[in-house]
Chain A
Amino acid sequence: MNNTWMILGMAAVTVLIKATIFGLGGRIAFPPLLQQALGFVPVTVLTAIIVPMVLGPHGEGLEITWRNPQLVASIVAILVCAATRKQLLTIAIALITFFGWQFGMLQ
């Protein structure tokens, strides 16, 4: 129930953002500082979400070791993405590395 309200709230926020300017038809001028700040939102939000998941996947402190498949696969993903700039290739190689590494450690 709580999660349904969470989703409906997200929908309300997003519809308001997307449709207000068209809907009201009025001109809203964005201050340049806000425009500049918005440009940094995706890169910071995404990084802030994944860094704890990669560096300490079990929530028990830093796991900077080759036995951490999240870390190993992420280093591979960063290198592949920096070299090729191909999103789907990066995701595919990262997943193969992650699952392969996990499987390999079970042996």
Chain B
Amino acid sequence: MALPLPSKGKRMSHPPTRLSSFAAGARDTIPMLIGAAPFGMIFGTLVTAGPLAPWQGQLMSLGVFAGSSQFIAVGLVAGSAGMLVIWFTTFIVNLRHMLYAAALLPHVAHLPARWRWTLGFLMTDETFAVMNGYYSRQQDSPYGHWYFLGSGLSMYVNWQTWTLVGLVFGAIFPQLQSLGLDYAMVATFIAIVVPQLNRLPHFGAAVAAGTFAWMLQDLPYKLGLTIAVVIGVSTGVALSRWRAGVRTDGRSAA
């Protein structure tokens, strides 16, 4: 039996408070929390299968709080990559957060510094998506930053919890390691990459990066990975420009 939900109109009639805005931000992030949970758990389990100590895995979730770069770092540590390669890879993989921050800055620029640093730290792909939607609906809500905090903090607590669950899971079933658990990371990455390959520049970028990663894999400190990424990105950019050029040519010829 479903209880009747309060109508939208009724909810709107109460002016938003700090608490209600915080709760609304967390509530609107629930689908993202569910989506991130298995990845947090896979991350924690992967840590137990590699050279990192469990507390170092949790430290990474607490301090870095950026899923894809954490997965990549675990893979690189297992492949005994150099520290500088890991930091550089972290840098390029996480650079997109700057674009998110630049897009949302007009909505937080008026806040005190401690708010701005906190919300910046809590930025993720998911919270950016939620906040982008929120600010397009609510132009000037006085408690928008509490909504932001609700979304970001719920993602943060969720990520820590599922990392811990994965760490415990991996510790209870250590035999998972001998089965080749690192394949879970490969499967996760395939699921992220494949949906992007329907565009020619992305397809070309992936083929170039994969080919050079294979050919250069014996270079020290995983430098081959960095070179392969640079070649792949250049290929993607070149293909995009070539396509844009073809399109403009076609238009001017018509």
Contacts and interface: CB of A to CB of B under 8 A. Distances in A.
Given A38-B96, A95-B184, A98-B180, A21 B86 contact: no
B232 A48 contact: yes
Contact of B75 (A28, A49, A77): A49
A44 B205 contact: yes
B20 interface: no
B209 A35 contact: no
A54 to B, nearest CB: 6
Nearest to B198: A82
B188 A91 contact: yes
Nearest to B110: A25
Contact of A41 (B51, B93, B113, B211): B93
A4 to B, nearest CB: 6
Contacts of B179: 99, 102
A10 B64 contact: yes
Describe B's contact surface by its main secondary structure. Answer: helix
A41 B99 CA distance: 13
B213 A77 contact: no
The size class of the interface chain B forms with chain A is 35 or more
Contacts of B168: none
A91 B189 CA distance: 9
Contact of B217 (A6, A22, A52): A52
Given A14-B90, A42-B68, A19 B117 contact: yes
Given A10-B63, A40-B201, A23 B187 contact: no
A53 B71 CA distance: 14
B91 A13 contact: yes
Describe A's contact surface by its main secondary structure. Answer: helix
A97 B240 CA distance: 36
Interface in A8-42: 8-11, 13-15, 17-23, 25, 27-28, 30, 33, 35-42
B98 interface: yes
Interface in B86-140: 86-87, 89-99, 101-102, 104-105, 108-109, 113, 116-117, 119-121, 123
A43 to B, nearest CB: 5
15 contacts: A9-B87, A22-B116, A22-B120, A38-B99, A43-B197, A43-B205, A43-B209, A46-B189, A46-B192, A54-B186, A73-B187, A78-B194, A81-B195, A82-B197, A90-B190
User: Nearest 9 pairs between A and B by C-beta?
Assistant: A19-B120, A11-B63, A44-B232, A22-B120, A48-B213, A40-B236, A94-B187, A21-B101, A44-B209
Interface of A: 2-11, 13-15, 17-23, 25, 27-28, 30, 33, 35-57, 69-70, 73-74, 77-78, 81-82, 85, 87-88, 90-91, 94-95, 98-99, 102
Interface of B: 38, 42, 51-53, 56, 59-60, 63-66, 68-69, 72-73, 75-77, 83, 86-87, 89-99, 101-102, 104-105, 108-109, 113, 116-117, 119-121, 123, 179-180, 182-197, 201-202, 205-206, 208-214, 217, 225, 228-229, 232-234, 236-237, 240
